[in-house]
Amino acid sequence: MASTQERNEREHVGPTDRRVGADLAEALEMAARGLLERGEEDGVEHTLELIIRGALQTVPHVDEAGISLVERSGRVESHAPSSDVVQELDELQNRLREGPCLDSIWEEQRTLVEDMSQAHHRWPRYVAAARERGIGALMSFQLFAERGSAGALNLYASEPNAFDESTADAGRLFAAEAALVLHGAQRVQGLHIALDNRDVIGQAKGILMERFGIDRRQAFSMLVESSQNTNMKLAKVAEWLVTEVEKRQGAATGR
Asked if residue 78 belongs to a domain, the reply is: yes
Asked if residue 237 belongs to a domain, the reply is: yes
CATH number for the domain including 203? 1.10.10.10
Same domain, residue pair 135 and 78 = yes
Same domain, residue pair 76 and 130 = yes
- The CA distance from 252 to 167, in Å, is 66
What's the pLDDT at 16? 44
Asked if residue 108 belongs to a domain, the reply is: yes
Same domain, residue pair 198 and 128 = no
Same domain, residue pair 123 and 204 = no
Same domain, residue pair 87 and 148 = yes
- The CA distance from 77 to 80, in Å, is 10
β-pair partners for 32:
none
With 0-12 / 13-18 / 19 or more C-beta atoms within 10 angstroms meaning exposed / middle / buried, residue 208 is buried
Asked if residue 182 belongs to a domain, the reply is: no
CATH number for the domain including 104? 3.30.450.40
* CB-based contact 185:44 (threshold 8 Å): yes
Q: Based on the structure, what is the number of domains in the chain?
A: 2
What's the pLDDT at 2? 42
Q: Among 162, 178, 201, give the residue marking a domain's end.
A: 162
The number of beta carbons lying within 10 Å of the beta carbon of residue 169 is 13
Structural domain range at position 151: 62-162
pLDDT band at 1 (very low <50, low <70, confident <90, very high): very low
> Is the per-residue pLDDT at 222 higher than 50?
yes
Asked if residue 168 belongs to a domain, the reply is: no
Same domain, residue pair 143 and 211 = no
Express each pLDDT in 95-144 by its tens digit. Answer: 898 999 989 888 878 999 999 999 999 999 999 999 999 999 999 999 87
Express each pLDDT in 163-215 by its tens digit. Answer: 999 999 999 988 888 888 887 766 665 555 556 667 778 888 888 888 888 88
Asked if residue 35 belongs to a domain, the reply is: no
The gap between the terminal CA atoms of the chain, to the nearest Å, is: 77
